[in-house]
Each structure stands twice: as structure tokens, then as C-alpha cells.
Amino acid sequence: MWKYVKRYLHFAVLAALFMLGEVSMDLIQPGLMRRIVDEGVLGMNNNGTGDLHLILVLGFTMIGLVILGGFSGSMNNVFVHMTGQNVGNEIRKDCFRKIMTFSFPQMDRFGTGSLVTRVTNDITQVQNFVAQFVRGMIRTSMLIVGSIFFMFRLNHEFGMIVLCALPFILGCMLVCLVRANPLLTRLQTQLDAVNDILQEDVSGIRMIKACVREIYEKLRFGKANDGLVRTQLRVLIIFAFMNPAMNALMYIVVVILLLTGSYQVGENMTTPGTIMAAITYMTQLLNAILMLVMLFQTITKGIASWKRVKEVLATEPELKDGDFDGEMEACGKIEFRDVSFAFPGTEQMVLNHIHLVIHPGETVAIMGATGCGKTALVSLIPRFYDAVDGTVLVDDVDVRSYTQKELREKIAVSLQKSELFSVSIRENISWGAPEASDEAVCEAAKIAQADDFIRKTSNGYDTFVAEQGTSLSGGQKQRISISRAVLKPASILIFDDATSALDLKTEADLYAALDEARPGVTKIIVAQRIASVRRADRIVVLDNGSVEACGTHDELLRTCKTYQDIYHSQIGNEGEIYE
């Protein structure tokens, strides 16, 4: 954490200096009050005659010190907040940058809800910890040490009473903090679980309603939230018992001071003003101890949260950039050399010994039964995952030799699940090419058969898209997603079942417009429908993670049993397409 704090150390130092000024003013006040009582009111140094002049001088001095202390406290707050907020801002930005480098398996291991909690709640706890440490640790330590020191200066017996009571007070505090510490760590984990359920249910609310599962989800969320509340209550109960116990100890000490002081006044060993000053110092010490309790709560929460944040910051990306910076002779060529793949955390191979070459400008379709590895195969090209064995090459260069940025700039991807952002339609289309002109955006939309419906929306291309694209139909979202892929200046275009929500005519018009507008782009089409792939240059049929056959539509109809089965299962509903 120090590397973040040291960037704003100048603010922390200024905050500490102003805090020294504020606490100094607080510690001077009881001594002045003692003089007002003993010398100004009781006149103990003047044969019992009060001194109004001394009262006025010391009174105005105290007012001036209060004003100075108030100014110092205000400035301390300013610089404390500047330190804490800036440190939190830097940590939050670094966490987000780190998350952006994570591979899909790393994202899955952390979980979306957990990452949201760490970047929001945990970092807030850390910045509170920094702010309270800068402010609270100086104030409490100075008040505790200063109060005990001035107590000894006033009266050695008073100082010894407080010093003997201090271990009991601190021991009570430490016992409670030791019991609360593991609960605070559990609390953050349970908050992750609540956020996970909330994120899942909000994003999947349509399916929940369609399946009439509202009651089940309410119970699931309630169970997770009840666990969170129970842990929170246990923490609160611990501190609820601690504060009265410490208050009781402190007031017992005050009573002992009063008894001792009354005896000493009777024996002319001390003065009423000294007792008043001692009680004031004792009150300051009590406030400092209570503040220390709150400070340790914040520190305990902050340390627990920092461990979780640090886990994100310390996680190294699994996908390392290569250092290739040479020239590529090919443009849009893809090759799979004996590629095998299994998803991280599993041992079952999804792809087995794939050999496949896709030439520049070629349109290749990939078909097969559900779960045969189609999406896994195309995910290896932009290096969303790395192959377990074998090599994937783009333009005759191993994808692991590229930087991820350079590799992915060559590839445009459109997925079955269209990821749209809460910005305008224009911004969604130009997401992969932010400098594209309005004309280019419109042209890409026309190719994707999206221009007509976009112009009919309330504000055309400037229409705002609701979160997750809920303001659009499935086919509209897919066409906007396809427009984004088409607009991106890439030499490889991957459609992973990206037209599943389109009707056959719209899909046919799209591919015809795409072939005419982007003839030199290598196109890979993952699809389930014969109508989507029959005009491809080649069709690759996968079966259980292996290439069963590769050829044109007519060739596969003659030679591939799996392709024939797919064809005959669909021809009843789509026979007119094949005529």
C-alpha cells in the first residue's frame, strides 16, 4: 500500500502537522482552566481573593486557542480527505487496469460479483483506513501520551492511577478486536455472494420471470443476505459489549481520581483546579481510547479489504504478450497445427489434434453438434484461450508471439450473445473503430441489414441503448453487433453463431452484402443452419472435437454422414432454400 500512499505523502504530512496543532491546543486547555479556577476564581495564590483580570486574559487565550485548534482540525480534514480519496482513486484505477488484463478463466475464478465488491466496497474500506490512519493514529496517540504526561505533571498519584488502569482498558479492546477480525474477513466473502446473486438475477430477470422462479430467487437471495446480516450482527454485538465495558472502566478510574483528589484537597496536597484539569485530561483520554477502538475497527476492516484488493493487484495475467515485431507476408491466413485444447480447470479435451489451414480471403464455415468444440476452436484465434498442445498461427506467426493488442486488431468478432453498452447506437457500432466517420458507420449498418430499423428509432443513430441492450430485440442487437465487427478494419472476421436470431432472408442479404463489400477479408462462420453455411468456400464439420470432414456443400452432401444428417433434419422446414 505504501507505493500508493507515498505519491500523496505531502498531503499526509500536512495533515499530520495540522493534527499536531489541533491536539496541542486540546492539551493546553485543561492547564489554563486549572489556573482560572485556582488563581482566578479561588485566589489560592492571593489569600483567597479572585483575579478577574487573570480570568479574562486566560479566558480569551482559551478562546483563541479553540479557534486555532478548530482551524487546524479543518485543514487536517481537508488534507486527510485529499490523501484518502487520491489513494483510493489510484488503487481503483490500477485494479480495473489489472482486471482488463485477466483471461476468461481468471475472471471466472474471481467471479463478477467478487470483482465488483473488491473494486467498490473493499477499496472504499482501504481509503477509509488510510484516511483514519493519518488522522486517527496521530490524534489518539498524542492524546493518550499527552494526557498521561500532563496528568503526571499535575499529580504523580493521578498519573499512576491512569497508568495502572490503561492495560485493562487496552486489553479489553484487543480481546474484542481479536474476536471480530475473522468475522470481518467472512463478512466480505458473504458480501461477494450477495453481489453475485444480485448480478445474476438482474441480468437474467427475463428468464426468471419466464420460468416463474421469482420466489426461488427471493429465497436464494434471502438466504445469502441473512448470512451476511448474521455475521454483521455478531460483529456489532462484539463492539456493542466492548464500548460499555471500556466506558465502565474509564468511569471507575474517574471515581478513583475524585476520591483520591478529595482526600488530597482535604490534606492540602492538591487543589480543586488540579482535580478539574485531571478529570478533563481523563475525559480526553477516554475519548482517545474510544477513538482508538473505532480506529482499530477501521484498520481491521481496511487490512481485510486490502488483502482482497492486493490479491487482484498481485495476480499476473495468464496470457503473456509476445515480442514479434516483424513483417507478415500473408494477410488473413489462419492455421491450426495439431491443436488440442481443454478448458482451464478441466481434463476433458474439447479439441483433439486439429489440422486446418484457412487461406486469406476465404470463407470457411464450421458446423457440428452442440458441444463439439466450434466456439472453442474460433476462440483460439484471437487468443481468448491458449491451446494445450499444438500451435495456432495467424499470418504464419504463432498467436503467442504477438502482443494481444496487435493480434486482436487483426480480428473482428461477432458473438451469438450480443454485448451492447449503455451508449448510443452509433457509439456501439464504432466501438472497435472509434475514429470511423459517420458515413462508414452507416455503411457498416447497411451491410449488416441494420440501417433501416436504426433510422426508424426515436433518434436514429443517436438513440441511447438501454443496459444490456434490453431496449432492442434479439435480431436488432445481433445486427448492431455485426455492424460493429464489419466496421472494424480487420483482415479476419469471425461470426460465432452471430446470425442465429435473424430470419433466413435477412441473413442471406447480409452475407451477400458482406461478400460484395469485404471480398478480401477472411471470414469464419460458426452456424447451426445449413442455409447459413452452404455458400461458404469450405465447410468444416466437427465431431467430438475432431475434424470429421472438410469440403464444399455439394462435396459434403456426397461424402459426410454427419453433414447429411444435419441437412436432412433441416430440409423439411427449409427445403426451398436448397433449390
Handedness of CA 225, 227, 230, 231 (dihedral sign): negative
pLDDT digits (tens, 9 = 90+) for 128-139: 888 888 888 888
CATH class given for the domain over 334-578: alpha beta
* pLDDT recorded at residue 575: 45
pLDDT digits (tens, 9 = 90+) for 395-416: 889 999 988 888 888 899 988 7
Judged by DSSP in three states, 49 sits in coil
Q: Which residues pair with 414 in a beta bridge?
A: 495
Phi-psi region of 469 (alpha: psi -120 to 50; beta: other; left: phi over 0): left
In angstroms and rounded to an integer, the radius of gyration of the C-alpha atoms of the chain is: 36
C-alpha cell at 497: 453463431
pLDDT digits (tens, 9 = 90+) for 142-158: 888 888 888 888 778 87
> Phi and psi (nearest 5°) for 42?
-85, -20
d(CA 96, CA 85): 16
Q: Is the pLDDT confidence value at 539 over 90?
A: yes
Separation in Å, CA 328 to CA 163, 200, 398, 410, 521: 78, 43, 11, 12, 16
What number of CA atoms fall less than 13 Å from residue 5's CA on the CB side? 13
What would the CATH number be for the domain defined by 2-314? Answer: 1.20.1560.10
Residue with cell 494477410: 331
Q: Among 245-259, 297-311, 509-523, which stretch is predicted with the lowest mean pLDDT? A: 245-259
DSSP state of 508: H
**Segment of 25-39, 323-337, 495-509 carrying the highest mean pLDDT:** 495-509
513 and 445 Cβ atoms separated by less than 8 Å: no
- Alpha helices by DSSP H, listed for 52-137, are 52-100, 104-110, 112-117, 123-132
Q: Among 149-158, 385-394, 422-431, 512-521, which stretch is predicted with the lowest mean pLDDT? A: 149-158
In this chain, the answer to whether the domains covering 2-314 and 334-578 adopt an identical fold is no
Residue with cell 478529595: 262
How far is it between the farthest Cα atoms of the chain? 125
- Every domain of the chain and the residues it spans: 2-314, 334-578
Instruction: Show the beta-strand stretches assigned E in 346-488.
Output: 351-358, 363-368, 389-394, 397-398, 411-415
Question: Average per-residue pLDDT in the chain?
Answer: 84
d(CA 334, CA 139): 65
95 and 309 Cβ atoms separated by less than 8 Å: yes
Of 168, 147, 151, nearest in space to 160 by CA: 151
d(CA 292, CA 279): 19
d(CA 292, CA 286): 10
> Phi and psi (nearest 5°) for 413?
-130, 135
d(CA 289, CA 295): 9
Q: Is the pLDDT confidence value at 303 over 60?
A: yes
* pLDDT recorded at residue 577: 42
**pTM (two decimals):** 0.72
312 and 98 Cβ atoms separated by less than 8 Å: yes
Residue with cell 476564581: 41
pLDDT digits (tens, 9 = 90+) for 36-79: 877 777 776 667 676 787 888 888 888 998 899 889 889 988 99
pLDDT digits (tens, 9 = 90+) for 75-96: 988 998 899 889 989 999 999 9
C-alpha cell at 348: 476433458
d(CA 427, CA 332): 27
* pLDDT recorded at residue 579: 42
